[in-house]
Amino acid sequence: MYHLVFSADENYIKYTSVLITSIILNTDKSKKFQDFDKNSNIKNEKYFFHILSNFVSDKTREKLLNLQNALNEIFPCEIIIHIKNDEDFEKFPISGAAHSLKLPYYRLKLSSIFDESVKKCLYLDSDMLCMCDMRELFLTNLEGKIIAAVGDPGSKRSKIKYKEDGKKKAFYFDENYFNSGLLLINLEEYKKHSIEQKCEELASKCYYIKAADQDLLNATIETRLRYKLDFAYNFNIITLLYAICKDEKKNRLNYTRAEFNEALKNPKILHYGEKPWKFLKSYFDYKDKNINDYWWDIASKTPVFGEELLREKQDIKDYLLYTGLGYELLKSVRKINFFKIHHLIKNTNKDPLYTEQASRINDDIFGLCCMLGESILHARKHKKDFFGVYLKALKMIYNFKKYHFKSRI
């Protein structure tokens, strides 16, 4: 039996259904678990998909039951809903990834949904897509370890700020900082080391935290009690824009360029930053394929929820504004045109024109333009000045030129 856990509110469940479908469709029905591990005594091969949520309507529950029945014809599975309450997480701060709901924290208490017979579970963010036989992850030997996880591709300069005994303190992260979007959890060790309680205790003292549950887990699980998985198992698609590896710069992606390139050529689980249900097009992979097309291919095969998703697909256009604005910013940075950058932030009259020209942007810089455009929209929303946007764009363009995978292989 394989236990997999997701966090999803009512609106996110349809996206979770695509991930669940990708897991089923990529399971090799011709193989048993013993084909992966000859010493295994697993006989009842069945996926249990656990959804942690704050509310699921009767209509959505019926859809999930129909999804389960359809997928069960391909490979044995069961979908189980667990309702949690934000009130149970009142000691956890609202900031960063948990800016409006406490849902990101729900995974911290997932051990409470399992009895003692379940020794291991796999947590996955809903904005992921499986491209391998998920059973291979359950082969990981977690003896003596609390979790198996993948290193986060972002900068490791962040920290948690908290108060203890009336004094301000900080917990600084290092190169071993992991991404909590995929966690293979040894439930016995998780409980033994009181991770849930440690996270809640630290959270109650925090006055600054950026990545919510991810920061708390990194602060409470010692490095020696983690198993480092290949980057392919949580391939964050932002690294298709650029990835700075540990043999190129300290405190970045904790994998060598060679290790990253192996994952790039054969990613096993994609982790979408630019959500496919918002971006029909973003980055292009090693095979020069739009990374979002993989998700929509599975969405079209997803029982029950697929038709709804394909209807919504026809109205997805906002990403074109991101890209059109980003292209204008790219040109402005190259010409050091501060007036134009200021104009992009303050004047929205030409937005329809920028949206229209997005379709003419070359694929090799499309993802870069998406991210540059995001900085313009961020500046509009938070009333940032043009010079900050210029510096951020300059750094992004420099890193893209130097660390984009096509220039590094």
The percent of residues in the chain predicted with pLDDT above 90, rounded, is: 85
Three-state DSSP string of 271-309: ECCCCCCCCCCCCECCCCCEHHHHHHHHHCCCCCCHHHH
Summarised one tens digit per residue, pLDDT across range 33-56 is 777 776 666 667 999 999 999 999
* Residue 306 pLDDT exceeds 60: yes
> Three-state SS for 325?
helix
* Residue 227 pLDDT exceeds 90: yes
CA distance 322 to 303: 31
Element (H, E) at 11: none
CATH of domain 2-312: 3.90.550.10
Greater confidence, 210 or 123?
123
Q: What is the pLDDT of residue 259?
A: 98
Q: What is the pLDDT of residue 62?
A: 98
Q: What is the pTM of this model?
A: 0.95
pLDDT-derived band at 110, boundaries 50, 70, 90? confident
Average pLDDT of the chain?
A: 94
CA distance 341 to 242: 23
Q: What is the pLDDT of residue 101?
A: 73
Q: What is the pLDDT of residue 184?
A: 98
Q: What is the pLDDT of residue 401?
A: 97
Average pLDDT (270-290) is 97
Summarised one tens digit per residue, pLDDT across range 348-366 is 999 999 999 999 999 999 9
pLDDT-derived band at 221, boundaries 50, 70, 90? very high
Domain ranges of the chain: 2-312, 317-407
Average pLDDT (267-271) is 98
> Three-state SS for 22?
helix
Summarised one tens digit per residue, pLDDT across range 1-44 is 899 999 999 999 999 999 999 999 999 999 887 777 766 666 67
Count CB atoms within 10 A of the CB of residue 359.
Answer: 10
Q: Which two tokens stand for residue 3?
A: 């236990």
Q: What is the pLDDT of residue 111?
A: 83
Q: Where are the alpha helices (DSSP H) in 254-290?
A: 257-265
pLDDT-derived band at 167, boundaries 50, 70, 90? very high
Pick the closest to residue 259 from 273, 243, 274 (CA basis): 243
